[in-house]
Chain A
Amino acid sequence: MHLLIVEDEARIAKRIERMARAIVGEGMRSLVHKDNLQDALHYIKENTLDLVLLDLNLNGDNGFDLLTTAVSESFHTIVVSAYKEQAITAYEYGVLDFVPKPFNQERLQLAFSRVGSKEKLEPSKVKHLAIKKRGRIHLIPIEKVLYAKGAGVYTELYLTDGIKELHDKSLEKLEQLLAHSFERIHKSYLVKMSEVKQVIVETGSKYKAELNNGEIIPVGRTKYKDIKSKWL
């Protein structure tokens, strides 16, 4: 695991580091600590990461600047903050977990366990998906997303207005964040179920989903049963 800790309090950074090493164990490939926004942004740009642990108040800077950048990246973000009231906003931006200070190893372990877990989070709190476009971060409201299609390590987001955007997170990671309202109906498709008009069964056990706007999306044979039991 490649881990970045962004925290301006040395003592707390050391604590997170110590605990992270204990939790991840052998799997820790790299662990870096940055104590200010600029260094952290620079490091994110230049390196491949799996997880970022982020404090939202860095040297008086608003950590949400960093948060929007972080959540648009391919890795998951966990916020470690003293401000519990920021939790809701953080979740809306698409963080995997929010660990309030003061914390202990158990709480941090729980957060780490979500990274690899297939288990979905409680009803999705994500309200925006942050994407990078022409060097800037754009927030796409979740209501505008019809479905997502895996494209290698990236994901294509298909929006209600017919526009297609690229997200740096993999389809698996998005599935973790979007839970419930979105369903993985195919290994390459994550669809908002409220947009599905009907599921068409074709000869030869071929399944297709018709969306409200008429688009047809393939449904995986193995996924069909799950969907049928859950949604139909």
Chain B
Amino acid sequence: MNWRFLLVLAVVAPLFLINSCTETPVFKENETLFKIGDQKEWANKHFNDQDWNQGKPKMDDGQVFWFRTPIDILQNNEDSSPYGIRLEVYGEYEVFWDGVLIGKNGNPGQEKKYGPKGKMWTTHSIPSALTEKGQHMLAIRGSLYWFADHAGIWSLDINYYDKLVTNRLIEIAFMHVLAGAFLIASFYFLFLFLSNKKEYPMLIFSACCFLFFVLIIAEFSEAYLPVHYSQHRLRLQSIGVLMLGISFLIPFYFSMLFPFPKRQIYTTLYGAVLLFIFLIRYDFFLLTARYMATSMWLYALGMVVYAVYKKKKGSITILSTLLLCVAINLIATFNISFYSGFGLILLGMFYLLSNRIKEQRLAYEKSLVQSTRLRLELLKKNIQPHFIMNTLTSLIDWVEEAPDKGVLFIEALAKEFDLVNRIENEKLIPIEQEIALCKAHIEIMEYRKEIHYTWEDEGIDAGQKIPPAILHTLLENGITHSLPLVDNTIKFKLIFESNAQYVCYTFLTYANRVRAVPSKIQDGTGIQYIKARLTESYQSEWEFSSEPTDYGWKNIVILYIQ
């Protein structure tokens, strides 16, 4: 449970910190007016722009236009660092502050001539003399050769110049650290998958981590990889594709770890919904991202609630993670809640996967112990007191009373010991070896019980393998729990049948049963041994039944072909 605590501490706490550190703004932005055309005096602070238009200009062919935005500076600059302005504006432009040119981005009006120059996000410092408290005028002279319908000031921030630059870098640094962590996780789980190709959840998790890494890099690399506004659309499209991938893979992953009925149908439907959202406005990042994130959240929530209802391991952790995402969304900006939400969900997936790895390790350790135990049990068959002491007592008697037979008895015993030694380390042995073991055992038991045992087999396929001492155990049970027929015989018969789906061994005992009512033989150590051996080699792909019949006992072992 420390996990969950760490999760909260590692991801949420820094975000709250960042959020709570956001200062009160030093400026107020007023309504922007525009005019198509180009006159130097339009930059002036006190130019009369009453006849200018509100809203966004629509131009053709890279015409020059002007924006004028009155800005109220709310605090005097009391620092040595000047104020600066950070802009997200489509187009190539010059920036004027109170009539003074403070920055240039590309070649407004001459884009066609010089080609794409400049970038989407620019930061300019404002001369200290022009930033006293009160109203100022931001004027932008720009042109928009590509995407003429995208004109407008998309975002604007004024603060100390140093802060504008460094805050952005700190944010980017933090996000890159996060991206790096996911890149490493992605590689790690990819390698884990490559070493065990059955583990698809690992591959999906690896893909999610990688997509999330690329998404962060795509979003936060603009500080050092200048993007011209003409390429911005391409960038948004790439982000949209990444979003589509992540939004599909995360619920797909949950559906693998928390299976539910008809999940293929639901997941296909969900995929269709995502594709629809993607295709309607794939370049309108905020809207698409919001819709996709919301659909993903809803679908994942449905699945996880079902998993919690079914008491699936880890489902409560994932549910709390999803609810935490909502909480963050309520208090933080979209960007913060978006990335921290995805980060949290990926951590939740990581938690599930680590749980799964732990379970697999435990299961593997258990299987090792189980195999050792079964091996010991096989070895014990011939040294457990009931077998060895009764055999030795009979043997002494034969040696004393009929030494010739005594020698044959010893040879039969040696044969069984030899066979057991040969199969002791195997998990599967040829069926013929198993039959030889049964026959050797019958020989010994004939000397002990002085009953005539007969063995018959039918349709045996020499190429088949079977876990060691399974039939031997059934034979032992048959001998122990049966009384001979009137002619002092007990007959055993093994029938082999197979088809495309399974192979089937039917082992029959023809004898008088010791008791009229079957007791708990089914739960005896012999039957447990058989079931454990079958599970060891065939997992759940087997069936075993053992029941009394009119003529004795009938055992059926069915092995499904894998």
Instruction: Enumerate chain A interface residues (CB-CB to B < 8 A).
Output: 8-12, 14-15, 35-38, 57, 59-61, 82-84, 100-104
Contact = CB atoms under 8 A, between A and B. Distances in A.
Contacts of B392: 101-102
22 contacts: A8-B449, A9-B390, A9-B449, A10-B448, A10-B449, A11-B393, A11-B394, A11-B398, A11-B450, A12-B390, A12-B394, A12-B397, A14-B450, A15-B397, A57-B386, A59-B514, A60-B477, A60-B481, A60-B521, A82-B390, A83-B389, A100-B389
A38 to B, nearest CB: 7
B524 interface: yes
Interface in B363-402: 385-386, 388-390, 392-398
A36 B389 contact: no
B451 interface: yes
A60 B394 contact: no
B390 A10 contact: no
10 closest Cβ pairs, A-B complex: A82-B389, A102-B393, A10-B450, A11-B394, A101-B389, A82-B385, A15-B397, A59-B514, A60-B480, A101-B393
Contact of B451 (A10, A36, A37, A82): A10
B483 interface: yes
Interface in B387-440: 388-390, 392-398
B10 to A, nearest CB: 58
B515 interface: yes
A6 B385 CA distance: 18
Interface of B: 385-386, 388-390, 392-398, 447-451, 477, 480-483, 514-515, 521, 524
B448 A60 contact: no
B514 A9 contact: no
Nearest to A14: B397
A223 B524 CA distance: 54
Contacts of A12: 390, 393-394, 397, 448
Contacts of B386: 57, 82-83
- The B interface, classified by DSSP as helix, strand, loop or mixed, is helix
A10 to B, nearest CB: 4
A11 B398 CA distance: 8
Nearest to B388: A82
Contacts of B515: 38
B385 A11 contact: no
B410 to A, nearest CB: 14
Contacts of B450: 10-11, 14
B389 A102 contact: yes
A11 B514 contact: no
B390 to A, nearest CB: 5
Nearest to B524: A60
B385 A83 contact: yes
Contacts of B477: 60
Given A35-B483, A36-B483, A11 B397 contact: yes
Contact of A103 (B385, B393, B449): B393
Given A38-B515, A102-B392, 17 more contacts: A8-B449, A9-B390, A10-B450, A11-B393, A11-B394, A11-B398, A11-B448, A11-B450, A15-B396, A38-B514, A57-B386, A60-B480, A60-B521, A60-B524, A82-B388, A101-B390, A102-B395
A60 B393 contact: no
Contacts of A61: 514
A15 B393 contact: yes
B392 to A, nearest CB: 5
A70 B38 CA distance: 121
A203 B514 CA distance: 65
Contacts of A37: 514
B385 A84 contact: yes
A9 B394 contact: yes
Contacts of A84: 385
B560 to A, nearest CB: 30
A204 B388 CA distance: 64
B492 to A, nearest CB: 16
Contacts of B480: 59-60
Nearest to A85: B385
Nearest to A105: B400
Nearest to B515: A38
Given A11-B397, A82-B389, A103-B393, A59 B448 contact: no
Contacts of A104: 396
Contacts of A35: 483
B394 A36 contact: no
A109 to B, nearest CB: 16
Contacts of A36: 483, 514
Contacts of A102: 389, 392-393, 395-396
Contacts of B393: 9, 11-12, 15, 82, 101-103
A84 B521 CA distance: 24
Contacts of A103: 393
A9 B445 CA distance: 9
Contacts of A11: 393-394, 397-398, 447-450
A60 B385 CA distance: 14
A9 B479 CA distance: 11
B105 to A, nearest CB: 93
A89 to B, nearest CB: 15
A13 B46 CA distance: 126
Contacts of A9: 390, 393-394, 448-449
Nearest to B393: A102
Nearest to B392: A102
Contacts of A59: 480-483, 514
A231 to B, nearest CB: 42
A38 B516 CA distance: 10
A96 to B, nearest CB: 20
B388 to A, nearest CB: 8
Nearest to A10: B450
B131 to A, nearest CB: 97
A132 B276 CA distance: 84
A104 B397 CA distance: 9
A15 B399 CA distance: 12
A128 B448 CA distance: 35
Contacts of B390: 9, 12, 82, 101
Contacts of B524: 60
A38 B512 CA distance: 13
Nearest to A12: B393
